[in-house]
């Protein structure tokens, strides 16, 4: 694996059993992602983008082939090692935010740091920094049900970013947001990508997201159909 590469995928296949038959979700995927990329897996429903994102996120394993993330082979990781990888190096942003409903904004963002056993003072500083990036300092004590969709997604981004992960995986992050909120969220992610050099990998079919991507990987029927880089004047920024 090249030292600038963060993800390398070789001949990856993922097959799901469907009763007595099988469904091939990913077929012969070959990809690599460099550090600091702002890349999207684009494709219609069932194209395999979320499955690929889950494998990269060590939430799932390939049926065959190799998926290397930060020099670790996903298929060979034990449950504990996979959890360590997610805990230390990966940030997740989900379509439906997946915030902990009974925790307030501060506690939600603090959660990954608690798992990393970071001291209370440092934890507080890191959380407040993250909330400041996302413009949420006035919502510290609010609970998710009291927030708008855009605010919830910003909390989710703060939670994903607070530990400064090497890679952020975002699955349809704007699917539940209106246009204005979507653009706001995406601009924030672009800013974080540029300022913190965090690598972002999206799974999306939302044109608004696609407009911000620097690299677009099109998936169709579990295969990479097209992989294209976007010049800076083509992005929505």
Partner 1 sequence: MKTALKLAYRNLVGAGLRTWLNVIVLSFSFVVIIWLKGILVGWDYQAKSDMTNWEIGGGQYWHEQYDPFDPFTLAESHALIPEQFSEEIAQGDMVPVLMVQGTLYPQGRMQTVTIKGIDADQDIFLLPTNKLDTVVDAVPAIIGAAMAESLHLTEGDLVTLRWRDAWGTFDAMDIVITDIFSSNVPSVEAAQIYIPLELLREMTMMQDEATILTFRDPELSRPAVQGWIHKPKNVLTASVDRMIKTKTAGQSVFYAILLLLAMLAIFDTQVLSIFRRQKEIGTYIALGYTRREVVGLFTVEGAMHSILAAVVGALYGIPFLAWQAKVGWTIPMDAGDFGMAMAQTLYPVYSAGLVVSTILIVVIITTIVSYWPSRRIAKMNPTEALRGRIQ
E strand intervals along 107-234:
167-171, 199-204, 215-220, 223-229
Closest to partner 1 by CB, 163 or 184:
163
Report d(CA 158, CA 135) in Å as an integer.
Answer: 10
Q: Which two tokens stand for residue 142?
A: 């609010």
Check residue 77 and report its DSSP letter: -
Map tokens 């855009």 to a residue: 150
Is residue 196 at the binding interface for partner 1, with CB under 8 A as the rule?
A: no
Give the one residue of 40, 62, 65, 112 binding partner 1; rule: CB under 8 A: 112
Query: CB within 8 A of 140, min separation 6: which ones?
Result: 104, 105, 106, 131
Binding mask 31-50 for partner 1 (x = CB under 8 A): -------------------x
The residue from 103, 164, 216, 223 that contacts partner 1 (CB under 8 A) is 103
Q: Is 139 in the site for partner 1 (CB under 8 A)?
A: no
Verify binding: residue 107, partner 1, rule CB under 8 A. Answer: yes
**Contact set for partner 1, span 159-178 (CB under 8 A):** 159
Question: Cα separation of 159 and 113, whole Å?
Answer: 9
DSSP string computed for 147-172: S-HHHHHHHHHHHHHTT--SEEEEES
How many residues touch partner 1 under the rule CB under 8 A: the total is 31
Tell me if 92 contacts partner 1 by CB under 8 A. Answer: yes
Q: In 3D, which of 210, 101, 202 has the Cα closest to residue 152?
A: 101
Which lies closer to partner 1 via its Cβ, residue 79 or residue 179? 79
Q: Is 18 in the site for partner 1 (CB under 8 A)?
A: no
Choosing from 60, 151, 172, 206, the residue that interacts with partner 1 (CB under 8 A) is 60
Please tell me the distance from the alpha carbon of residue 63 to that of residue 26, in angstroms, as a whole number: 9
Residue 83 engages partner 1 in binding (rule: CB under 8 A): yes
Query: In angstroms, rounded to a whole number, what is the distance separating the alpha carbons of residues 50 and 57?
Result: 10
Nearest distance from residue 96's CB to partner 1, in Å? 8
Among 11, 64, 76, 100, binds partner 1 (CB under 8 A): 100
- Assign 3-class secondary structure to 81-99: HHHHHHHHHEEEECCCCCC
Which of 11, 71, 76, 102 binds partner 1 (CB under 8 A)? It is 102
Considering the complex, what minimum distance in angstroms separates the CB of residue 230 from partner 1? 28
**Cβ closest to partner 1, residue 14 vs residue 214:** 14
Q: Which residues bind partner 1 (CB under 8 A)?
A: 50, 54, 57, 59-60, 79-80, 83-84, 86-88, 92, 94, 96, 98-104, 107, 111-112, 114-117, 143, 159
């Amino acid at each position: 694996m090249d030292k600038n590469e963060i993800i390398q995928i070789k001949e990856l296949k993922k097959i799901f059993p469907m009763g007595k038959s099988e469904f091939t979700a990913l077929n012969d995927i070959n990809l690599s992602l460099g550090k600091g990329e702002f890349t999207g897996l684009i494709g219609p429903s069932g194209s395999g983008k979320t499955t690929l994102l889950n494998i990269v996120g060590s939430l799932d394993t390939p049926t065959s082939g190799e998926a290397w993330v930060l020099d670790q082979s996903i298929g060979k990781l034990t449950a504990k090692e996979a959890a360590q990888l997610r805990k230390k190096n990966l940030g997740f942003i989900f379509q439906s935010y997946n915030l902990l409903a009974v925790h307030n904004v501060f506690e939600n963002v603090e959660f990954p740091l608690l798992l990393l056993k970071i001291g209370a003072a440092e934890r507080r500083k890191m959380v407040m920094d993250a909330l400041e990036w996302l413009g949420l300092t006035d919502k510290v004590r609010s609970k998710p049900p009291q927030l708008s969709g855009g605010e919830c997604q910003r909390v989710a981004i703060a939670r994903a970013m607070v530990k400064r992960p090497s890679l952020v995986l975002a699955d349809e992050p704007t699917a539940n947001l209106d246009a204005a909120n979507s653009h706001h969220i995406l601009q924030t992610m672009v800013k974080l990508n540029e300022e913190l050099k965090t690598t972002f990998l999206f799974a999306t079919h939302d044109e608004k997201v696609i407009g911000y991507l620097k690299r677009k990987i099109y998936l169709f029927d579990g295969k990479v159909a097209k992989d294209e880089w976007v010049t800076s004047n083509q992005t929505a920024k």
